Amino acid sequence: MSEEYLSRGYLTVEELKKIHPLPSEERLRKKPVAVPECPQEIPCTPCAEICPVNAISMPTPNDLPKVNYEKCIGCSLCVQICPGLAFFMVQYKDDKARVTMPYELLPVPKRGDEVILLNRRGEEIGEGKVVLVIPREKSIGDTNVITVEVPIELAWEARAIKVKEVRE
Amino acid sequence: MRIKEHPVIDFSKKKGRKVTIYFEGKPIEAYEGEPIAEALHAAGIRVLNYTPRGRPRGLFCAIGKCSSCLMKVNGVPNVRTCITLVEDGMRVERQRGLEPLPQDYHPPKWKDATKTEGDVIIIGGGPAGMMAAISAADHGAEVILIDEQPMLGGQLVKQTHKFFGKRQQFAGVRGTKIAEILKEEIEKRRIKVFSRTSAVGLFQDGDKKMVSAVRNNKELLEFYGKAVVVATGALEKMIPFENNDLPGVYGAGAIQTLMNTYGIMPGKRVLIVGAGNVGVILAYQLIQAGVKVVAIIEAMPKIGGYFVHAAKVRRLGVPILTRHTILRAEGRDKVERAIVAKIDENWKPIPGTEKVYNVDIVALAVGLRPSIELLHQVGAQTTYVRELGGYVVRHDDMMQTTVKDIFVAGDSSGIEEATTAMLEGKIAGLAAALRVGKADLRAVNEVKKAHEELMEFRSGPFGARILEGLEKVMIK
């Protein structure tokens, strides 16, 4: 397997699909589903330990997490706890997608805010609307979790957000 | 400049009373609980002393290990200002080279040293030392814990990221929080803690061990015990390039100390050298503090740190340039620019590929080496092991060195992770408690369990390299 991502620091969607096959469209339309972007064998298990329905399998701590998308209930606990901030959730809704991601910067956006979407290379690729914020205090992993509604074609591209600067 | 708002750390809770110190006669605002060099940095003062030839020097490690920050404090020269706390009215001056003590200054004498006795003496209050103290105390050993920092926790106190491993090993918990938890556990037990105390010698004294130490730069202390655990951590490596001593070329850890321990803005724009875990984690922490990271450069063809840590900063727009090196830093009395270039397969810079970054900080994250000075001094056998960061001491599976009843744990036994440092500390603490006759079979079982956890943690590709290194130091 090509491991070019280890020199670049980001995965392409094609590489991601090879490592963690993506959920079916049917599943994506049902409810949010957790998708890890965790391509490297590192000793780390919180996602598998926290999952309330045992949807994440990891025979030894150095194995990659494998999500059983049918079992996953979309509760976001893995997104909240993942120390590598490498878990996301995706859901398709009509012609939009909702991407749930960890967020540990300031300012923390509010529900309804329009934010700038960034891809895995940090490039601005469009705008999205914040539909849900789980604040740090309520997150089991001490990390804010933000759900953003994005154009469906950006569902597998948008992986970070930038809060728009308020001009004074 | 100070950090006003931070997404993870609440500095308002940490800040002490406002005091005034005098730098070359000029009043500087500082806060109780922060060291001198850090307070000066907050006030924009980066040049702390001059070499005998007149080159300016500033902070480098900020944890008392490199002596790049020596200054004259209240007339006394050669004070490590990065770990010496400010006091109201303190007079601080730059010095040139190493200066002699003033004639009228009478340092304390060793014959007057305060003596303290216990079963197990632990040197170093980081993850390994704290865990060793807790484990030994749990089995009834009288434990003395010596640490030279103003606060316990070692490097955990400045780690805002969540740790890996298993949840029972604090995975998913931030380093800062782990430090708090361990500190509370220490306080719950009858452990004698000596903070701001530097161990300066380790000796065999009859059938006992003796540790000589200096508290708060002025008080001499002697500790006697039957066993010693050395958990003195590591220090940051330096690489050669033009002007690598210019103030503003800081060790990655120094930058973390400034911003995450004391809430001080390290600078405005930073170039990071090294894409190991320390480099990529530092980049993320700088972004959290509101500092611009212009790039991370790495000489190797691949990122050495965990991919997920690198991905966190890539998606926030930080470029990672592999196969690049720093040629020089430029600036008058402080860093103003850094020049980097691409390197070829023979590690030579390729002409025409130079890039200039306007930065005020160059962060060196080029690796750590174990602090083995005390172990070396006491005669423990050392050996050079590249995989473990340099010279390390030989030890057995109970973490005992070649000197009977002297144990080692954590980064001082080989550079690894806080998670493994805690497990090694546990083993060393239990082994020491067994040796002094305080622990029983339960401790043996706990050691066995800790070994299993270590093996499991090291079973992946990252651990493979560590195991290769350990193979070279283990006494069988």
pLDDT digits (tens, 9 = 90+) for B5-56: 999 999 988 889 999 999 999 999 999 999 999 999 999 999 999 999 999 9
| 3-state per-residue secondary structure call for B445-471 | HHHHHHHHHHHHHCCCHHHHHHHHHHH
Domains B112-235+369-473 and B249-368 share a fold: yes
Of B187, B183, B142, B136, nearest to B427 by C-alpha is: B136
DSSP strands (E only) in B259-313: 269-273, 292-298
CATH number of B249-368: 3.50.50.60
Beta partners for residue B50, in sequence order: B56, B96
Residue A98 sits at the chain B interface (C-beta within 8 Å): no
Which amino acid, residue A53? V
pLDDT digits (tens, 9 = 90+) for A5-44: 999 999 999 999 999 999 999 999 999 999 999 999 999 9
| B90-to-A62, B219, B262, B277 alpha-carbon distances in Å | 52, 18, 19, 38
Q: Do B172 and A8 touch (CB under 8 A)?
A: no
Structure tokens at B247: 């103030």
Domain spanning B112-235+369-473: CATH 3.50.50.60: yes
Of B334, B398, B428, B338, nearest to B139 by C-alpha is: B428
CA within 13 Å, CB half, B13: 5
State the angle between helix axes of B418-435 and B127-138 in degrees (0 to 180), rounded to the nearest 10.
30
* Cβ–Cβ pairs < 8 A, chains A and B: 137
- Bond from prior residue into A107 cis (ω within 30 degrees of 0): yes
Interior/surface letters B337-359, b for 16+ CB within 10 angstroms, e for the rest? bbbbbbbeeeeebeeeeebebeb
Angstrom distance (rounded) from CA B326 to CA B239 = 10
- Backbone angles phi and psi of B253, in degrees to 5: -65, -30
Which chain A residues are within 8 Å of B309, Cβ to Cβ? Answer: 84
Residue of A nearest to B297 (CA): A7
Distance in Å, alpha carbon of B125 to nearest chain A alpha carbon: 24
Handedness of CA A131, A36, B165, A42 (dihedral sign): negative
Q: Identify the pLDDT of residue A1.
A: 43
Angstrom distance (rounded) from CA B351 to CA B329 = 17
Distance in Å, alpha carbon of A85 to nearest chain B alpha carbon: 7
**Pick from B166, B311, B317: which is nearest to A45 by CB?**
B166
**Pick from A42, A84, A120: which is nearest to B314 by CB?**
A120
Helices (H) then strands (E): counts for chain A: 5, 9
Q: Identify the pLDDT of residue B476.
A: 86
Which amino acid, residue B397? D
Q: Identify the pLDDT of residue B15.
A: 84
Q: Identify the pLDDT of residue B81.
A: 98
Would you say the pTM of this structure is higher than 0.90? yes
Domain boundaries in chain B?
A: 11-96, 112-235+369-473, 249-368
Q: Identify the pLDDT of residue A132.
A: 98
8 A C-beta contact, residue A136 and residue A81: no
Distance in Å, alpha carbon of A58 to nearest chain B alpha carbon: 12
Q: Which of residues 25-84 of A touch B (CB under 8 A)?
A: 37-46, 49-50, 60-62, 81-84
Q: Do B164 and A6 touch (CB under 8 A)?
A: no
Q: Do A45 and B290 touch (CB under 8 A)?
A: no
Angstrom distance (rounded) from CA B367 to CA B365 = 6
Q: Which of residues 16-35 of A touch B (CB under 8 A)?
A: none
Q: Report the CATH architecture of B11-96.
A: Roll (3.10)
Structure tokens at B2: 């100070």
Whether A168 has a pLDDT exceeding 90, the answer reads no
pLDDT digits (tens, 9 = 90+) for A61-99: 999 999 999 999 999 999 999 999 999 999 999 999 999
Strands B120-123 and B227-230: parallel
8 A C-beta contact, residue A108 and residue A138: no
Q: Identify the pLDDT of residue A167.
A: 56
* Interface residue of A12, A42, A120, A159 to substitute, partner B, most B CBs within 10 Å: A42
pLDDT digits (tens, 9 = 90+) for A103-147: 999 999 999 999 999 999 999 999 999 999 999 999 999 999 999
pLDDT digits (tens, 9 = 90+) for B115-134: 999 999 999 999 999 999 99
Which amino acid, residue B407? F
Structure tokens at B72: 């004259």
Cα pseudo-dihedral B248, B254, B257, B258, rounded to 10: -10
Which mean pLDDT values do the consecutive 10-residue runs of chain B (476 residues) have?
Answer: 95 91 98 97 97 96 96 96 98 95 92 97 98 98 97 97 96 97 98 98 96 96 98 97 97 98 97 98 98 98 97 98 98 97 97 98 98 98 98 98 98 97 98 96 97 97 96 94
Residues 6+ apart with CB under 8 A from B332: none
Q: Do A122 and B318 touch (CB under 8 A)?
A: yes
Q: Do A50 and B8 touch (CB under 8 A)?
A: no
Domain boundaries in chain A?
A: 5-163
For the sheet containing B355-357, what is the strand order?
Answer: B324-330, B337-342, B355-357
8 A C-beta contact, residue B338 and residue B243: no
Q: Do A62 and B163 touch (CB under 8 A)?
A: no
Residue A135 sits at the chain B interface (C-beta within 8 Å): no
Identify the residue whose tokens are 């090196």: B325
**ipTM reported for the complex, 2 dp:** 0.97
Residue A2 sits at the chain B interface (C-beta within 8 Å): no
